[in-house]
């Protein structure tokens, strides 16, 4: 959330006008980031989205690239979901370990 907030702050300071679609995108990112932080402070939604964004920026510069992106997007989404599942598994394992450790100390 710091990057989008910083961008919006710089735009405000320098009185730069931006397209309403870009402003909406940034506000949505801030809302999603705030929601994610409220649910799980260790989860960074921008880091989690990075594989999809990186793929899109590398591939979608030509018409053929856009077609390839549409074809391979399911794979990219699968990889992202796998990364997310691994994160949540590690988090749950750590919580269980700490809970188990705490119950044995009492």
C-alpha to C-alpha distance for 67 and 73, rounded to whole angstroms: 10
pLDDT for the residue numbered 9: 86
Please tell me which residue, 27 or 104, carries the higher pLDDT value: 27
pLDDT for the residue numbered 25: 83
Is residue 91 classed as helix, strand or coil in its secondary structure?
A: helix
C-alpha to C-alpha distance for 36 and 41, rounded to whole angstroms: 7
| 89 & 51 share domain | yes
pLDDT for the residue numbered 5: 78
| 30 & 49 share domain | no
pLDDT in tens, 27-69: 888 888 888 888 888 888 888 888 878 877 877 778 888 888 7
| 29 & 50 share domain | no
Highest mean pLDDT among 13-17, 24-28, 53-57: 13-17
Structural domain span for residue 59? 44-106
| 21 & 56 share domain | no
Domain count, the chain: 2
Tell me, letter by letter, the H, E, C secondary structure of 9-78: HHHHHCCCCCCHHHHHHHHHHHHHHHHHHHHCCCCCHHHHHHHHHHHHHHHCCCHHHHHHHHHHHHHHHH
pLDDT for the residue numbered 76: 83
Cβ pair 45, 36 in contact under 8 A: yes
């Amino acid at each position: 959330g710091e990057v989008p907030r910083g961008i919006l702050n710089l735009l405000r300071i320098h009185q730069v006008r931006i397209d309403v679609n870009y402003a909406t995108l940034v506000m949505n990112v801030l809302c999603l980031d705030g929601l994610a932080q409220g649910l799980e402070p260790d989860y960074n939604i921008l880091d989690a989205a990075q594989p999809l964004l990186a793929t899109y920026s590398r591939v979608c510069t030509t018409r053929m690239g856009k077609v390839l992106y549409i074809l391979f997007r399911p794979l990219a989404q699968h990889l992202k979901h796998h990364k997310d599942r691994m994160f949540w598994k590690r988090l749950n394992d750590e919580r269980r370990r700490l809970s188990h450790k705490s119950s044995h100390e009492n």
